[in-house]
């Protein structure tokens, strides 16, 4: 993830100063543990200023409104108590070469400043700190004590101190090319490294773009540069400093991130705030997606191992209970032949009543024939009771295995992050597992589940729509809320998978191609997608039921018909679509 460097922060601050000073702070909302949003209103407009101290994605920019769900964070509550309703009268960078922004609040424009909100954009050391007019810290997003840092502590009640100044020479427009070149080439080394080591305020991103624009290589040694190379590079250096001075920025996406300098742009963006908001939302969503998916897959895998072990134990007990009739038959044989039992015998061979075949019966030499028979009868009753007790337990465990496999299959379908819908779908799965008591509910979670995620949608060769659930919430919604009287419902037979709807208008009848196409999609979005052919059932939605107490996504059906789905056909279609 690309960090907000000094160049980007200068561009952002300039825009905010131009369009949002002065403004009134109407609302404070904390989106997550690293992000707050301030609702600002000017005479002409209202928007949300997002401030983040995320270790990789610290930033500030105008962004989308936050979700309308409760804010349970302490930091935002303290900010609301202190600065809500105040006017934002100034927004300044504390130094041209430091990534610290000072938001100043007063009762109204023109009045003395009462509050300072310092935003420190410094990678993993980023922070947001509220101080009073005398710069005494009132509240802080992340407190830093002496055990965490021997250089600088940040705690409520102490005076605010600026971050330690970085070493290195400050870039200046007045510096001559000769002096600039000498400084960089004093010790031969990789060009990008020498630039970064020689000057403050220059980020790796800007240095790399500058070198690329000069058609040089970042790892190229400084002693290999020609006079023409140095001239080109110095012109770009001066261009960068001029842009910082004139604020004539040019925004857009590059191959690896974004830029505000106009260099290496592959997709121009007119609005800087939109660029920053979109880029970091997308990057943090990707990061959250991978973290949540990994956490859920690990949890489901662990749960499946536990319940599978439990199921095997129950199966073993059932196999043992299958011997119940054997114990009763042996006891009957023994009772019918008590006269053949002698004291001290360890076994006896008797002929079976029905087959007349010899049966060897183990005996306890310390017991007589009647006592041995009574023991066998007791074993028969014990195993018979065990069978009655274990069968429902095994059925319950198998139901749980089917549910967990269904969830696991949904997770395997969500392999990469492509849109916010993917993260929403994943968060719904996590929320479901919390509701089903498979996961602990975090003390502070701020997940937007107000908007429902949407299913996959495809079309058959004849143009009919196919809707496919991406998680159990969607599966239930498709089957019991979306499905119409004329639709057809598809699902893999005896295998975990998505609920699939073939959408039909009144009077429309699907042909064989449509039915097989829907079966192919049902087979592909299932646990059996690696098979050549998969049995798929389909029926009318009115014949699909949810048993009382069933977990999400779990249904039973009747009047089904069977088709053979071919997952590779659906996979080939997806590949052809890129």
pLDDT in tens, 458-471: 999 999 999 999 99
pLDDT tens-digit readout, 216-245: 999 999 999 999 999 999 999 999 999 999
CATH number of the CATH domain containing 78:
2.30.310.10
What pLDDT, on the 0 to 100 scale, is given for residue 443?
56
Nearest in space to 62 (alpha carbons), one of 43, 82, 86, 38: 38
pLDDT tens-digit readout, 508-550: 889 999 999 999 999 999 999 999 999 999 999 999 999 998 9
What pLDDT, on the 0 to 100 scale, is given for residue 328?
85
pLDDT tens-digit readout, 49-58: 999 999 999 9
- SS3 sequence, 240-257? HHHHHHHCCCECEECCCC
Whether 515 and 397 map to the same domain: the answer is no
User: How far are the Cα atoms of 12, 94, 118, 366, 448 from residue 277, in angstroms, in the given order?
Assistant: 11, 23, 20, 85, 17
In which band, very low, low, confident or very high, does the pLDDT at 450 lie, cut at 50, 70 and 90? very low
Question: For residue 423, is it within any domain?
Answer: yes
How far apart CA 93 and CA 325 sit, in angstroms, is: 87
Whether 435 and 460 map to the same domain: the answer is no
Residue 204, both tokens: 């790796």
- Residue 374 burial class via C-beta count within 10 angstroms: exposed 0-12, middle 13-18, buried 19 and up: middle
Whether 186 and 249 map to the same domain: the answer is yes
User: How far are the Cα atoms of 61, 74, 83, 356 from residue 26, in angstroms, in the given order?
Assistant: 17, 18, 9, 94
- Mean pLDDT value across the chain: 91
Whether 428 and 319 map to the same domain: the answer is yes
Whether 433 and 470 map to the same domain: the answer is no
CATH number of the CATH domain containing 403:
1.10.287
Long-range contacts, 413-418 (Cβ 8 Å, 24+): 413/470, 413/498, 413/525, 414/289, 414/293, 414/470, 417/285, 417/286, 417/289, 417/290
Whether 318 and 398 map to the same domain: the answer is yes
pLDDT tens-digit readout, 326-337: 888 888 888 999
Whether 325 and 387 map to the same domain: the answer is yes
Whether 398 and 514 map to the same domain: the answer is no
Question: For residue 485, is it within any domain?
Answer: yes
Q: Which residues have C-beta within 8 Å of that of residue 104, sequence separation ≥ 6?
A: 88, 89, 90, 91, 92, 113, 115, 116, 117
pLDDT tens-digit readout, 80-130: 999 999 999 999 998 888 999 999 999 999 999 999 999 999 989 999 999
**Phi, psi values for residue 328, rounded to 5°:** -65, -40
Look up the domain containing 513 and give its range: 456-576
Question: For residue 148, is it within any domain?
Answer: no
Domains identified in the chain, total number: 4
Q: Which residues have C-beta within 8 Å of that of residue 83, sequence separation ≥ 6?
A: 25, 28, 105, 115, 117, 130
Q: What is the maximum alpha-carbon separation in the chain?
A: 121
pLDDT tens-digit readout, 253-272: 999 999 999 999 999 999 99
Q: Which residues have C-beta within 8 Å of that of residue 518, sequence separation ≥ 6?
A: 460, 466, 488, 490, 500, 502, 510, 538
How far apart CA 163 and CA 123 sit, in angstroms, is: 13
**Residue 27 three-state SS:** strand
Mean pLDDT (whole number) for 27-42: 94
* Domain boundary residue, one of 440, 475, 505: 440
Question: For residue 37, is it within any domain?
Answer: yes
Whether 47 and 78 map to the same domain: the answer is yes
Nearest in space to 428 (alpha carbons), one of 405, 456, 457, 407: 407
CB 89 within 8 A of CB 105: yes
Residue 67: pLDDT over 90: no
What pLDDT, on the 0 to 100 scale, is given for residue 446?
46
Residue 57, both tokens: 């994605």
* Domain boundary residue, one of 270, 288, 308: 270
- Helix axis angle for 567-576 and 512-524, nearest 10°, is 90
* Domain boundary residue, one of 89, 115, 140: 140
CATH number of the CATH domain containing 192:
1.10.8
In which band, very low, low, confident or very high, does the pLDDT at 476 lie, cut at 50, 70 and 90? very high
- Residue 490 burial class via C-beta count within 10 angstroms: exposed 0-12, middle 13-18, buried 19 and up: buried
Mean pLDDT (whole number) for 25-35: 93
How far apart CA 240 and CA 202 sit, in angstroms, is: 10
CB 121 within 8 A of CB 4: yes
- Residue 311 burial class via C-beta count within 10 angstroms: exposed 0-12, middle 13-18, buried 19 and up: middle
Phi-psi region at 486: left, alpha or beta (left = phi > 0; alpha = psi -120 to 50): alpha
Indicate the range of 25-39, 153-167, 192-206 predicted with least confidence. Answer: 153-167
In which band, very low, low, confident or very high, does the pLDDT at 449 lie, cut at 50, 70 and 90? very low
How far apart CA 408 and CA 399 sit, in angstroms, is: 14
Whether 327 and 257 map to the same domain: the answer is no
The DSSP annotation for 472-518 comes to: HHHHHHIIIII--TT-EEEEETTS-B--EEE---TT----HHHHHHH
- What is the DSSP secondary structure assignment for residue 378, as one 8-state letter? H
In the chain the first and final C-alpha atoms are separated, in Å, by 25
Whether 12 and 128 map to the same domain: the answer is yes
Residue 169, both tokens: 């020479």
Question: For residue 150, is it within any domain?
Answer: no
Whether 436 and 304 map to the same domain: the answer is yes
Whole-structure pTM value: 0.79
Question: For residue 287, is it within any domain?
Answer: no
How far apart CA 450 and CA 216 sit, in angstroms, is: 50
pLDDT tens-digit readout, 353-388: 888 889 899 999 999 989 998 988 898 888 788 788
Residue 299: pLDDT over 70: yes
CB 404 within 8 A of CB 304: yes
CB 121 within 8 A of CB 58: yes
Question: For residue 281, is it within any domain?
Answer: no
Residue 517 C-alpha from the chain's centroid: 31
User: How far are the Cα atoms of 189, 200, 204, 234, 239 from residue 182, in angstroms, in the given order?
Assistant: 13, 16, 20, 12, 19
What pLDDT, on the 0 to 100 scale, is given for residue 470?
94
Question: For residue 282, is it within any domain?
Answer: no
């Amino acid at each position: 993830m690309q960090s907000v460097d000094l160049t980007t922060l200068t561009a952002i601050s300039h825009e905010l100063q131009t369009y949002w000073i002065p403004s009134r702070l109407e609302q404070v909302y904390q989106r997550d543990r690293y992000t707050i949003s301030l609702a600002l209103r000017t005479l002409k407009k209202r928007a949300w200023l997002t401030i983040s101290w995320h270790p990789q994605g610290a930033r500030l920019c105008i962004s989308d409104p936050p979700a309308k769900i409760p804010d349970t964070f302490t930091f935002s509550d303290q900010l609301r108590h202190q600065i809500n309703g105040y006017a934002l009268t100034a927004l300044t960078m504390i130094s041209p070469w430091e990534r610290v922004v000072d938001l100043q609040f007063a009762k109204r424009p023109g009045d003395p400043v009462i509050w300072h909100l310092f935003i420190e954009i410094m990678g993993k050391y980023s922070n947001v700190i509220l101080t009073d007019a005398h710069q005494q810290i009132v509240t802080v997003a992340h407190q830093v004590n002496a055990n965490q840092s021997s250089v600088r502590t940040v705690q409520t009640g102490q005076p605010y101190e600026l971050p330690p100044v970085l070493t290195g020479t400050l870039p200046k427009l007045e510096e001559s090319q000769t002096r600039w070149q000498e400084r960089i080439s004093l010790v031969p080394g990789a060009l990008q490294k020498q630039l970064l080591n020689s000057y403050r305020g220059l980020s790796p991103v800007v240095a790399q773009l500058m070198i690329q624009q000069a058609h040089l290589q970042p790892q190229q040694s400084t002693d290999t540069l020609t006079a023409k190379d140095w001239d080109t590079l110095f012109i770009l250096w001066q261009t960068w400093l001029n842009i910082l001075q004139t604020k004539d920025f040019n925004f857009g996406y590059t191959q690896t991130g974004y830029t505000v300098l106009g260099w290496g742009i592959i997709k121009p963006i007119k609005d800087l705030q939109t660029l920053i908001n979109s880029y970091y939302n997308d990057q943090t969503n990707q990061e959250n997606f991978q973290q949540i998916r990994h956490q859920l897959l690990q949890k489901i895998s662990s749960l499946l191992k536990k319940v599978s072990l439990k199921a095997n134990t129950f199966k073993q007990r059932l196999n043992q209970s299958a011997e119940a009739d054997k114990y009763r038959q042996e006891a009957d044989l023994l009772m019918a032949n008590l006269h053949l039992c002698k004291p001290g015998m360890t076994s006896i061979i008797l002929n079976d009543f029905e087959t007349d075949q010899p049966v060897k019966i183990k005996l306890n030499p310390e017991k007589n024939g009647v006592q041995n028979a009574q023991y066998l009868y007791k074993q028969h009753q014990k195993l018979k009771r065990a069978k009655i007790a274990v069968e429902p337990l095994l059925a319950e465990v198998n139901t749980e295995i089917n549910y967990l496999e269904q969830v696991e299959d949904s997770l395997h379908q969500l392999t990469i992050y492509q849109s916010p819908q993917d993260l929403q779908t994943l968060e719904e799965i996590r929320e479901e597992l919390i509701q089903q008591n498979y996961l602990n509910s975090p003390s502070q979670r701020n997940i937007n589940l107000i908007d429902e995620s949407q299913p996959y949608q495809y079309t058959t060769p004849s143009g009919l729509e196919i809707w496919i659930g991406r998680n159990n919430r969607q599966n239930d919604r498709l089957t019991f809320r979306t499905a119409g009287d004329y639709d057809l419902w598809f699902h893999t037979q005896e295998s975990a998978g998505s609920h699939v709807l073939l959408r039909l208008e009144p009077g429309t009848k699907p042909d064989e191609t449509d039915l097989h196409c829907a079966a192919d999609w049902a087979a592909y979005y299932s646990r059996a997608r690696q098979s050549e052919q998969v049995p798929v059932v389909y029926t009318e939605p009115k014949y699909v039921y949810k048993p009382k107490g069933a977990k999400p996504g779990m249904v039973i059906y009747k009047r089904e018909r069977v088709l053979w789905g071919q997952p590779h056909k659906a996979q080939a279609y997806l590949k052809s679509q890129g």
